[in-house]
Chain A
C-alpha cells in the first residue's frame, strides 16, 4: 500500500481547509473549512490504522466524525445568533472583543 498518496491527499485537504479558515469572510464557509481540516486528519488516521493493521485508527476517525457533528451544531448555532444580531455573517465585522 502506498501511504504517501493518502498523506499527500490529506495534506492538500488540510491546506485548503486552513486557507478557508483564515481567508474566507463567510462564517458558514469557515465552518466548512474546519470540516475539511478534520477530514484531513481522519484520512491520516484511517491510513495509518490500515498500515499498522490496528483498528484503533478507524475507531478514532469515527470519534472525530461524531465530535465534528456536535461541533458543527454549536458552530451553526453561533453563526445563526451572529446573523440575528448583526444581519450579516461576515466574521471580519465581529470584533467586539478587540482589546
Chain B
C-alpha cells in the first residue's frame, strides 16, 4: 500500500491542530492491523478447506499477529502520549507548539477525486482507536480459539472462520477510520458480517429470520447515519469534508451552525439506537442470539454493538454541541440511555434462555454507555465499553460452555446444579457476574461508579463537577445497578444451583468443557478482575497518585483541538458506597429469594423448582410482591390489555363507530356518489370520445404501415444486399447529378 501522507493545505488547517503525520512506526502503520484479518478472510475462503485445521489456523494466526501489532501500537501510544511534542514549521523555522501533548496520528491517502472533492482513506490513531484495536483483537483472538472447539463439528466450519476474520477486519477498519465516509463502510461491513453469522445455521427458519431482523432493523438506523453524515459533510468548517478531525475542529471552534448540529446529532443518534441496541430499536439484539455463541460473545456483546458508542465518542463535538450536554439536566441521548438501561435490565428478569438474559443485560449496559456519553462523562463511557467487553465476553463464552455441556440454552428446563459438573466454568461465570453487577473491586465497579459520578447528580453530598446536574439519570443508573445484580443472581441460581433438571433422553451427565473453551474463560475472567484498575478514580488514597486515572489520561483527547472542553466530575466516596449498597441490595434480595426460599422449598417438596409456586410467598410481603410482579412480567401486558385495549374495545370503540357510520360515512358516500357521476360523464365524453379514438387510430395506422413494410423484410440476405446496392447506386447517381451540374 503506497502511503502518501495527507498534504493538508495550510489554510484549511486551524493553527491549533493537534494532528501529526509522523510518529512511531507502529502508530503510523496501524493499518496493518485490520489488513491481516482481511487477508486471512480471502485466504480462508480460497484455501481454507484444504488446510489441516480447515482454515482455523489462518484466522487465529492473522488475529494473533494483529493483536501483537495492536499491543505494540498501544505501547507506542503510551510513549507518544506523554513525550510527543508537536512542531510547527513556520517561516522562522521549526518550533514546538506549546501547551499541547495530546497529538493524534493521522495517515491518509487519496482514494478518489470527484467534482473537486477529495475522498481520502486513512487511519486516525489516538488513544480511543488504540484501545479499541487492542480490545477487539484480543477478544477476537480468544473467540477464535474458543470456536475451534465450540463449532468443531459444524459443516460450515471454514466458512464460519472466514467470516469471523472478515468481521474482525471490518471492526478494526471501522475504529481506525479517519473520515466519516470510511466509517460508514466499516459500519456496514460489520453489519453484513453480523447478518451472515447470526444466520450461520440458516437451515432453521428462526435463525434466518433473526438474521434478517437484525439486518433490517439496522437499515432503519442507517438512514439516520447517511443523513447525519451528509449534514456534517456540508455543515462542518465551510463544508465539503469527510475528515473526522476537521469536522470536530470546526465544531469545537464554533464554526458550525447549531441547527445543523441538532439535525446531525439526532440522525446519528438513530444510527446508534439501531447498532447499539438502544430502546425501541433494541429488539434485534436479543433475537441475534440465534447465532452461534462465540459470535454472540464477539459481535453482540463485546465489539460490534459498541460501534454506535464508539461513533458518539469519535464524533463527540457533534453530540456535545448538538445536544447541548454541558450545563443541562436532560437531553435526548442521556434519556435514551437511561431508559434503555432500566428497560433492558427489567426484561432480563423474565428470560428463561441464558443467552437472552445476557443479551438484555448487554442492552442495559449499552444504555449505561450511551447515558454516560449523554451526560458528558466521556472517559467513563469509553472505560465502561472497555471493561464491559471483557466481562460480557466472559459471561457469553461461559454460557456457551454450559450450553455445550447440556445442549440447550433453557435455564429452567435443562440446567440447574451445574456447579458440581462444571466447577471451572462456574468460577469464571461467577467472576463475570460479580464484575457485571459492579461489586468492589471488580472491573464493573470502577466503570459504573465513574458513570454515576459523571452524571453530576450527586451534588448534595459533594462530588460534583459534571457537565450538568443529571439527577434523574443518576437515579436510573442506581436502579439499573440493583437490577443488574438481581438478574445475574437469578441467572446464576437457575444455571448452576439447585438440582440438575436436564438430561432428558441423554445417557451421559454434563461434563466440563475442554481447554480451548476454558483458557479463554480464564483470561477473560482475569481481565474482568483487573481491568478496572486501569482507571482508578483520582483521590483514591490506597495507591500512589500516579496510578490513578491512567486510562483517562491516555485515552481522552483532553486539550486537543478536536475534542470539546468537557468538565470532569470528581468522584465521591459517598456515591461509591451508596451505589455499591444499592447493587448489593439487588443481589441480596435475589439471593434471598432464590438461594434461600426457592432452594428450601425445593428440598422439602423434593421437586426441582425454578420459582416459588403461587401462594407460598404471602408470608413475606416483599418477596410476594416481587414474585407477583415477575410472574406478571411487570404488568406491562396488563397495562397494554386492560388499559389500552379494553378502553379501545369499550366506549371508545362504540363512539368511534357512531362517528364512523353517521358522519364519516355520509361524507364518504356523498363524495363517492359525486365522483361516480363525474366519472361516468368523463368516461363517455373524454375517454371514449377523444382519448380512445386517438389511441385506436394510432394503433391502426402503425398496423397498416407495418403490414406494408414487412414485405421488404424477407429474411433473405441477398434481397437486403440488392436493396443496399440499389440505394448506393441511387445515392451515387444523386452525387453525380449534384456535382456535375
Contacts and interface: CB of A to CB of B under 8 A. Distances in A.
Interface stretch (A47-55, A57-65, A89-97): A89-97
B713 A22 contact: no
B565 to A, nearest CB: 74
B650 to A, nearest CB: 73
A95 B714 contact: yes
A99 interface: yes
B715 A97 contact: yes
A8 B721 CA distance: 23
A22 B722 CA distance: 6
A30 B717 CA distance: 10
A58 B266 CA distance: 73
Contacts of A98: 713-716
Contacts of B710: 99
Contacts of A97: 713, 715
A21 B722 CA distance: 9
A22 B717 contact: no
A94 B720 CA distance: 13
B733 to A, nearest CB: 15
Interface residues of B, number: 12
A95 B721 contact: no
B725 interface: yes
A72 to B, nearest CB: 16
Contacts of A94: 715-717
Contacts of B721: 21-22
A92 B710 CA distance: 18
B266 to A, nearest CB: 62
Interface in B685-736: 709-710, 712-718, 721-722, 725
Contacts, number: 35
Contact of B713 (A23, A30, A91, A99): A99
B729 to A, nearest CB: 9
A28 interface: no
A20 to B, nearest CB: 10
A18 interface: yes
A94 B717 CA distance: 8
Nearest to A98: B715
A30 B718 CA distance: 9
B725 A92 contact: no
A18 B712 CA distance: 20
Interface string A65-99: 00000000000000000000000000110111111
Nearest to A95: B715
Contacts of B722: 22
Given A22-B722, A22-B725, A92 B713 contact: no
Contacts of A18: 725
Contacts of A21: 718, 721, 725
Contacts of B714: 95, 98-99
A22 B712 CA distance: 16
Contacts of A91: 716-718
Which of B709, B716, B718, B725 gathers most chain A CB within 10 Å?
B718
A12 to B, nearest CB: 16
B715 A99 contact: yes
A66 B718 CA distance: 25
B720 to A, nearest CB: 10
Interface in A27-63: 30
B490 to A, nearest CB: 77
A40 to B, nearest CB: 13
Nearest to A96: B715
Nearest to B729: A18
Of the candidates B709, B712, B713, the one having the most CB atoms from chain A within 10 angstroms of its own CB is B713
User: Which residue, B712, B721, B722, has most C-beta atoms of chain A within 10 A?
Assistant: B721
Contacts of B716: 91-92, 94-95, 98
A22 B725 CA distance: 9
A19 B716 CA distance: 16
Nearest to A24: B718
A83 to B, nearest CB: 15
A95 B717 CA distance: 8
Contacts of B712: 99
Contacts of B725: 18, 21-22
A31 B516 CA distance: 75
B703 to A, nearest CB: 14
A92 B714 CA distance: 10
A34 to B, nearest CB: 9
Nearest to A93: B716
A91 B716 CA distance: 7
A91 B710 CA distance: 20
A23 B719 CA distance: 10
A58 B721 CA distance: 28
B719 to A, nearest CB: 9
A95 to B, nearest CB: 3
Contacts of A96: 715
Contacts of A23: 718
A23 to B, nearest CB: 8
A76 to B, nearest CB: 15
A18 B722 CA distance: 9
B51 to A, nearest CB: 46
Interface in B134-155: none
A97 B715 CA distance: 4
A34 B259 CA distance: 74
Interface string B592-613: 0000000000000000000000
Nearest to B714: A98
Nearest to B712: A99
Nearest to B721: A21
A53 to B, nearest CB: 24
A80 to B, nearest CB: 16
A3 to B, nearest CB: 18
A30 B722 CA distance: 13
A2 to B, nearest CB: 22
A91 B601 CA distance: 99
User: B710, B712, B717: which has the most chain A beta carbons within 10 Å?
Assistant: B717
A19 to B, nearest CB: 10
A33 to B, nearest CB: 10
Nearest to B717: A91
A90 to B, nearest CB: 11
A81 B709 CA distance: 30
A54 to B, nearest CB: 21
Interface of B: 709-710, 712-718, 721-722, 725
18 contacts: A18-B725, A21-B718, A21-B721, A21-B725, A22-B721, A22-B722, A30-B717, A30-B718, A91-B716, A91-B718, A92-B718, A94-B717, A95-B714, A95-B715, A98-B713, A98-B716, A99-B709, A99-B712
Give the 8 A-B CB pairs with smallest separation, nearest first.
A99-B713, A95-B715, A98-B715, A99-B710, A97-B715, A95-B716, A22-B722, A21-B721
Given A22-B718, A22-B725, 9 more contacts: A21-B721, A23-B718, A91-B718, A92-B716, A92-B718, A94-B715, A95-B716, A98-B714, A99-B710
